[in-house]
Amino acid sequence: MSVASRCLGLSALLLAMTTGCTVVNTVQVPSVPGAAGQSVFVTSGDITEPHEVVGMLQVHKGGVLLFGNIDVVGTDLEAGFKDVLIPEVKKQGGDGVVRVRYAMTQYTPLARAMGAIFFIFPLPSGVTITGQIVKLKAGAAAPAAPAAAPTPETKSL
């Protein structure tokens, strides 16, 4: 194998390791006030139900990634919402959180590989979530279910 082909192969491998990839993070929490008997709802927008703003909220959960991939503490969105955000909303007496924004530590495949190679230096990881805690006003009904379609009348002749 020639030196040029080795350099080309090494360059292609290095390019593949340094390119970023798209990551889609999801977490399932109620997004409608009063949905499915859940006590706390979360939405990135606003709600139409009458409510009062209890206050602003910013929560953070931090930890480390061992070997570049093992999340010891749980610093993903799921843990951020269910372990930190929702308990804090309940503690402050809110019914939900509106205008939610989040930031989460993410690493490229190269950084994760380097974390695995240099395992004595764990990679810091964390998730920060902000929003407005709201309390639904008394007498405010949960969103109504859509009305059933009218049934046609039948006449006998």
Amino acid (1-letter code) at residue 62: G
Instruction: With respect to residue 50, please indicate whether it lies within any of the assigned structural domains.
Output: yes
Q: What is the CATH number of the domain that holds 109?
A: 3.30.110.70
Q: Are 98 and 123 in contact (CB under 8 A)?
A: no
Does residue 57 contact residue 92 with C-beta atoms inside 8 Å? yes
The count of domains in the chain is 1
In a domain, 120, yes or no: yes
Residue 96 structural domain: 39-136
Question: Residue 6: inside a domain, yes or no?
Answer: no
Whether residue 44 lies inside any domain: the answer is yes
Alpha helix segments (H runs only) across the chain = 3-18, 77-79, 86-91, 109-117
Dihedral pair phi/psi, residue 14, rounded to 5°:
-65, -40
Between the alpha carbon of residue 104 and those of residues 81, 88, 90, 126, 130, the distances in Å are: 12, 19, 23, 6, 12
Let me know if residue 17 belongs to a domain: no
Q: What is the pTM of this model?
A: 0.65
Q: Is residue 24 part of a domain?
A: no
pLDDT digit string (tens) for the chain, length 157 residues:
676 666 666 666 665 555 555 444 555 565 555 554 557 888 888 888 888 998 999 999 998 888 888 888 888 888 888 889 999 999 998 999 999 998 888 888 888 888 888 888 888 889 999 999 999 887 655 444 334 444 445 444 4
Say if 25 falls within a structural domain: no
Q: Could you tell me if residue 103 is inside a domain?
A: yes
